[in-house]
Structure 1
C-alpha cells in the first residue's frame, strides 16, 4: 500500500489518520469539504514526512462531488481507503427534519458504500488493498443511543463484514473500527457537550489503537473494549444462529 485516501481528513479522526499514515511513509489523498484546512494540513504533512499529499475538496453528500472522489479511487492506484467522514444530527428521531435525515444517510451510509465500491475493482485486480470503515459502538447498542446515527453505524459494521467475506479471499482486508465516545467535533455539531459524557477517549489514542488492530488484521476493532473475549462470544453466538435461518417452516415456538 503506497497511497491512502482518507475522507473527513481536515480534523479529528481523519486528520490523525493522515498524520500516522504519512509517518509510515504512505502518500495521501485528503478529502473533506474545507479546502483551506486540507491545504494547510497537506503542507504540514509534506514538510514533516516528505510524502506526496493530494488535496481533493468534496462534499460527499453532493452527487457530483462524490462522483469526483469515486473517479479518483478508480484512477491512480489507491491501496488503502479510510471511510471516516460522518456526522450526527441534533435532537431526536421524531424531531429531526426529513431532509436532514436524508442528508445524514447520504453521508454516513451512501458515501462510504459507493467509495468502497469504487475502490474494490482496482484492489481486486492488483490482488491487494484495504478498506477501513469507521463505525461506532452504538451500532451494537441502539438502546444506549437510540437514533438514526446508531442505525447508520450498524450498517457500516454489516457492510464491513459482508465485504470481508466476499473480498477477503481476493486479497482485500476490511476493518471495521468501532469507537466509543471520542473527543471530536461531532459532538458540538450535533448539539451535545462532550464534557457531559462520563468517559471520552482522545483521538490520538483511538487511531493508534485502531492501527494496532489494523496491523493485526482484526476484522473488527473496538479500542474501548477491555475484554476481547466478549466480542468473540458475541460473534460466536451470531454464527451459531446461522443454521437456524435455513428452514422452510416457522419455528415451533411460533405455532398457534
Structure 2
C-alpha cells in the first residue's frame, strides 16, 4: 500500500460523500467514487482531478441491487491500491413505523446496513493482511436516541455503530482503523427523502463543518466521532457505564429482582 492509498467513497455524488472526496483529494489520495448519479460524479471527478491532480475513477451503482453491489465489492477486494473505505451511502424514510411499507423498509435496510456490511466484508480481509488501512462508517446520533422517533432509521444506525465498534476490536490489533461518525441534523439531501424542509429545522450543521470535524476525529484515530457533542466526557461516561455492566451478564441464575417470592 502506498503512503497515500486510494479512497473509495459511497454516496459520493453529493453531500457528505462529495465532501469526503474533496478532503481526501486535497490530501493527495486517488479516489473511487460510487453513487447512482453519473453526471454529478463526472462533474465532481473532473474538478477534483483539475484542482488536486489525483486520479478519480467512477462506479455507477445502486447499492440496493445485488449485481451492482457485487461490482463494488469486487473492486474493494481486488484493488490493492484502495486502503480506505468510506461507507457513506444511506437514506431515510418519512412517517411513523406503521406508516412505512415493508418494501420501503427493506430498501432502507439494504442501503443503510446490508451494503456497508458487505463492502466492509469485501475490504477487511485484504486490509488485515496488509496490516494497515481504514474503514469509516457514517452512522447517526439517532442510533443512540430512540426518543427521536425514527425507529427503523435509528435501528440501522445503531447497527452501524455496533458494527464499527466490533470491527475496531477485531481489526485494530491487525493495524486496521475503524471509525464510526455520528452526525446529528446535517444539511443534506436525505431530508428530501423524508419530506422535510431542512431550512425550517433548527440547529442544522453544514456538511463542510461536519466532514472537517470527522476528519479531525479520523486523524486522532477516534473509534467514535460525534461532531455535535461538546463534552466528550459524556460519551466516555456512557461507555464506562455500559462496560461496567459487562461482568453482570455472566450470572448462572436470574438476578434476584426477577426471582419469584412467596
Residue 178 (structure 2) pairs with residue 174 (structure 1): yes
Which contiguous aligned blocks of 4+ residues in structure 1 show a shift greater than 2 angstroms? Answer: none
Q: Which of 10, 17, 20 matches 1:17?
A: 20
Q: Distance in 2 between matches of 1:192 and 1:69?
A: 31
**Distance between the aligned counterparts of 1:181 and 1:228, measured in 2?**
19
TM-score between both structures, scaled by the size of structure 1: 0.99
1:120 aligns with one of 124, 145, 148? 124
Which of residues 195, 202, 209 is equivalent to 1:191?
195
Partner of residue 34 from structure 1, selected from 25, 32, 37: 37
SS of residue in 1 equivalent to 2:78: coil
Aligned: 1:71 with 2:74: yes
1:108 to 2:112 alignment: yes
Q: Secondary structure at the match of 1:91?
A: coil
1:37-66 CA distances to partner (integer Å, 9 max, x unpaired)?
111111111001000100011000000000
CA distance in 1, matches of 2:157, 2:149: 11
State the Cα deviation string for residues 190-221 of structure 1 (Å, max 9, x = none): 11111232210000000000000000000000
Q: Please name the residue that 1:139 is paired with.
A: 143
Q: Distance in 2 between matches of 1:25 and 1:109?
A: 30
CA distance in 2, matches of 1:47, 1:190: 35
Aligned-partner SS, 1:143: helix
Distance in 2 between residues matched to 1:23 and 1:177, nearest whole Å = 20
TM superposition shift of 1:145: 2.9
Rounded to whole Å, the distance in 2 between the matches of 1:38 and 1:26 is 17
TM-score, normalised with respect to structure 2: 0.96
Partner in structure 1 of residue 85 of structure 2: 81
Extract unaligned runs of 5+ from structure 1.
none
Query: Shift of the alpha carbon at 1:248?
Result: 1.5
Aligned residues: 256
Q: Which whole-Å CA distance do the structure 2 matches of 1:14 and 1:167 have between them?
A: 24
| Alpha-carbon distance, 1:146 to partner | 3.4
